[in-house]
């Protein structure tokens, strides 16, 4: 390689970043500052004494920090197996399988389980991790309008008319991370019973919704055609993810899923933390109730102050501003007032729908919630 080529080999990366700058979309890592209205630590478990004590006791007992290998080598530990058994029982499934994160788990499921000749059918607002799985799946891929089970039915019927003969894998989120709305799981489950399988990402519902935080799909768990993803890094306060599914599908993933086979296993300490978090959900129902009280409080305060902004009814409240620059200016102003509230813009959300994403967590008090509503009222751009 000559000197000019060496000097120029980073030019394409500089140019790409310059283009992001010109579009006003350069991302930057930001420190944690202000009252938490940005994280997914919905129940405030990430810093809880019980999780700290559980991990400390595990370390004192000799539980290793790292798994030191993939699960199929030496990375399989008694603590991970115990947690999987506990999670399967808690959520009501036949089996469970742990992963290092929700992205990895979604990638594993959608790149492995749908087979050639099948159809992977995805909600229009499916997470990037699901779309990555769809990118490498062997199945046909199609989408349906957000939360529109009727349209999903029509898409399947059209695929069948064109010769589609395999199983249909319907992939949705139970609670959508940027809109805060819920999937019509009952209708979709009925459709899956007729056509194939239902894959539900409960990332933002686990711990928050359902009996003792079992999620919005809790009534469907245990079905042989239902695969559910519960992340540990949001409502449960740790890191990683757990799939709940039929035993044969678990074994299929162990033998066929490349994101499982070739990845270092999750830390045994996260299995300990996950098991403790499930105990907290059962022992401390007041956390779930306190969060729902904050949801009601914020809904009431915003309805009184900015009634033109609709409420999601969940702990995730999108406040649509529209233009990107106005959104980011408003986010900076709210941050300067002492709140960690982030602006979300394309490509994360569709053009023209840039927003503030309010995430209600137990890291904020009722007084903080009222102050945020007051601040938003004072700073909201005039129409």
Catalytic positions, please? 40, 127, 173, 177, 201, 204, 234
Side-chain half-sphere exposure of 103, counting CA atoms within 13 A: 5
Pairing of strands 119-123, 168-173: parallel
Side-chain half-sphere exposure of 194, counting CA atoms within 13 A: 10
In sequence order, the β-bridge partners of residue 199 are: 171, 227
| DSSP single-letter state for residue 212 | G
* CA distance linking residue 100 with residue 233, whole number of Å: 10
Neighbours of 90 (CB within 10 A): 21
* CA distance linking residue 235 with residue 39, whole number of Å: 10
* CA distance linking residue 76 with residue 266, whole number of Å: 9
Positive or negative: CA dihedral 13, 14, 20, 23: negative
Question: What is the residue whose two structure tokens read 């899923």?
Answer: 257
* CA distance linking residue 287 with residue 46, whole number of Å: 13
Q: Which of 158, 147, 176 is nearest to 119 (CA)?
A: 158
* CA distance linking residue 317 with residue 325, whole number of Å: 20
Positive or negative: CA dihedral 36, 39, 45, 48: negative
Cα 312 to Cα 92, 127, 182, distances in angstroms: 28, 18, 9
Contact indicator for 274, 242 with CB cutoff of 8 Å: yes
Beta strands per DSSP E along the chain:
35-36, 95-99, 119-123, 140-144, 168-173, 196-201, 226-231, 241-245, 316-322, 339-340, 342-344, 354-359
């Amino acid at each position: 390689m000559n000197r000019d080529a060496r000097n120029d080999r980073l030019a394409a990366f500089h140019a790409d970043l310059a283009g992001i700058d010109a579009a006003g979309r350069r991302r930057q890592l930001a420190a944690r500052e202000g009252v938490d209205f940005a994280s997914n630590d919905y129940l405030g478990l990430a810093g809880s004494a019980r999780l700290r004590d559980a991990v400390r006791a595990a370390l004192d007992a000799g539980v290793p920090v790292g798994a030191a290998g993939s699960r199929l080598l030496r990375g399989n530990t008694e603590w991970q197996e115990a947690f999987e058994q506990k999670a399967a029982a808690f959520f009501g499934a036949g089996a469970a399988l742990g992963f290092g994160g929700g992205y990895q788990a979604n990638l594993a499921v959608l790149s492995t389980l749908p087979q050639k000749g099948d159809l992977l059918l995805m909600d229009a607002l499916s997470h990037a991790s699901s779309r990555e799985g769809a990118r490498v799946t062997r199945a046909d891929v199609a989408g349906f309008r957000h939360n529109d089970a009727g349209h999903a039915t029509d898409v399947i019927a059209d695929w069948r008319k064109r010769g589609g003969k395999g199983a249909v894998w319907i992939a949705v989120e139970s609670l959508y991370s940027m809109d805060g709305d819920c999937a019509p799981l009952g209708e979709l489950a009925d459709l899956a019973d007729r056509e194939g399988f239902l894959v539900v990402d409960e990332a933002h519902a686990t711990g928050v919704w359902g009996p003792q935080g079992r999620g919005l799909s809790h009534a469907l768990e245990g079905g042989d055609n239902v695969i559910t993803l519960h992340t540990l890094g949001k409502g449960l306060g740790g890191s990683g993810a757990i799939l709940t599914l039929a035993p044969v599908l678990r074994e299929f993933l162990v033998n066929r899923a490349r994101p499982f086979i070739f990845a270092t296993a999750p830390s045994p300490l996260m299995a300990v933390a996950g098991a403790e978090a499930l105990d907290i959900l059962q022992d401390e129902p007041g956390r779930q109730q306190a969060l729902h009280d904050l949801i009601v409080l914020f809904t009431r305060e915003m309805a009184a102050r900015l009634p033109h902004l609709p409420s999601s009814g969940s702990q995730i409240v999108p406040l649509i501003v529209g233009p990107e620059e106005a959104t980011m200016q408003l986010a900076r102003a709210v941050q300067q007032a002492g709140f960690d509230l982030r602006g979300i813009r394309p490509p994360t959300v569709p053009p023209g729908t840039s927003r503030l994403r309010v995430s209600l967590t137990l890291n904020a008090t009722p007084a903080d919630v009222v102050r945020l509503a007051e601040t938003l009222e004072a700073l909201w751009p005039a129409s």
